[in-house]
Amino acid sequence: MNTATAHTLTGAGIPLSAHFTLPPDGAPRSTVLAIHGRGMSAGYWDAFTPLATRLGHAVLAVDRPGYGGSARYLPEGQNLADQAETLRAALKEHARTHDVGAGVFLLGHSDGGKVALHTAAGDADTPPLLGLDASGVGYHYDPGALHFPSTLGGGATKLNWGPLGLYPRGTFQASRALLAPTPPRESAETMWWPRQFETLAPEVRIPVRLTFAQHEAWWDLSPATLTAMTARLTASPAVTLDHLRAAGHNISLGHTATAYHLRVLAFLEECLLTR
């Protein structure tokens, strides 16, 4: 099995740290751009990578602009739209020197899912985009999340994790290595996400799959709100809404991570067949 290697992407002159893993034969069927959520880092996707590479996909798990290696160059971070622009430039540069297979599949969690949606809605100057899978990103916030905590303190534990029993023993101690400060510009625009989504959703022209954990506390998961969310993705050829039982917001760190990751990869297979 191949192991992740430290990698540097360059997007619009900005160096972005990443974990890059090729499949065992070195010839990817596709490349997954895995985008972490708020206050996290590329290591969030460590459990996903072995499954994906075993099925022949390369995984490019990136520290978003303002995190990791780019933090010193972007001390205030970037807003979500600018992060997407930086990532599109980085993807274009990556494709010049690396085989991306049939194209790039966007995988995002929480604020990383927002960036993935912005990326998909941008100008088509990147390698071909195959599809987009996002977890933990909705349309309207749950009223209980309107104070927007962004750390493990201040009441954010319930929002970011859900019931602690949903995660293997040792998860919270181990996850401290994944945590990173949230850049100010990213935090400042949180409340504007519903309006942003309304603007960018009609521009997303690839298949989309949205997953919500059973114990998701950030988002309004009422049927009416989720129906309104999917209805705005008018240009997408296929929109799938999924729910994962016995899971909290940080799905990829919980007991149900493997179940979620296998569903992601099944969706990727569908995107490859219908591209």
pLDDT at 151: 43
The yes-or-no verdict on residue 5 having pLDDT over 90 is no
The yes-or-no verdict on residue 197 having pLDDT over 70 is yes
State the CB neighbour count (10 A cutoff) for residue 143: 7
pLDDT at 243: 97
Alpha-carbon distance of 124 to 44, in angstroms, equals: 27
As a CATH number, domain 5-274 is 3.40.50.1820
What is the average pLDDT score of the chain? 92
Nearest to 210 by CA among 109, 101, 88, 84: 109
pTM, 2 dp: 0.94
pLDDT tens, residue by residue, 112-148: 999 999 999 987 667 999 999 999 999 999 988 876 6
CB 271 within 8 A of CB 105: yes
Q: Where are the domains of the chain?
A: 5-274
Residue 260's H or E segment, with its range, is helix 257-274
